[in-house]
Amino acid sequence: MIPTIRPARPSDIPALLGLMRKFCAYHDQPCETGLERLQLTLFDSGRVTALIAETDRPIGYAALEWVWRPMDEHDGLDIAQLYVVDHWRSKGVGRALIGAAATVARQASASQLTIASSAQNPGAAAAYRAMGLTERPAPGAGFRVAL
Q: What is the DSSP letter of 141?
A: -
The CA–CA distances, whole Å, from 66 to 78, 86, 91, 104, 143 equal 6, 28, 27, 11, 16
Mean pLDDT, residues 77-84: 94
| Tens digit of each residue's pLDDT (9 = 90 or more) over 85-133 | 999 999 999 999 999 999 999 998 888 899 988 766 788 888 888 888 8
Q: Which domains does the chain have, with CATH numbers?
A: 4-111 (3.40.630.30)
Q: What is the pLDDT of residue 123?
A: 83
Residues 106, 108: Cα–Cα separation, whole Å: 5
Long-range CB pairs of 43-48 (<8 Å, 24+ gap) are 43/10, 48/80
Q: With bands split at pLDDT 50, 70 and 90, how would you rate the model's confidence at 54?
A: very high
Task: Give the number of other Cβ atoms within 10 Å of residue 4's Cβ.
Answer: 11
Given a cut of 70, whether residue 44 has pLDDT beyond it is yes
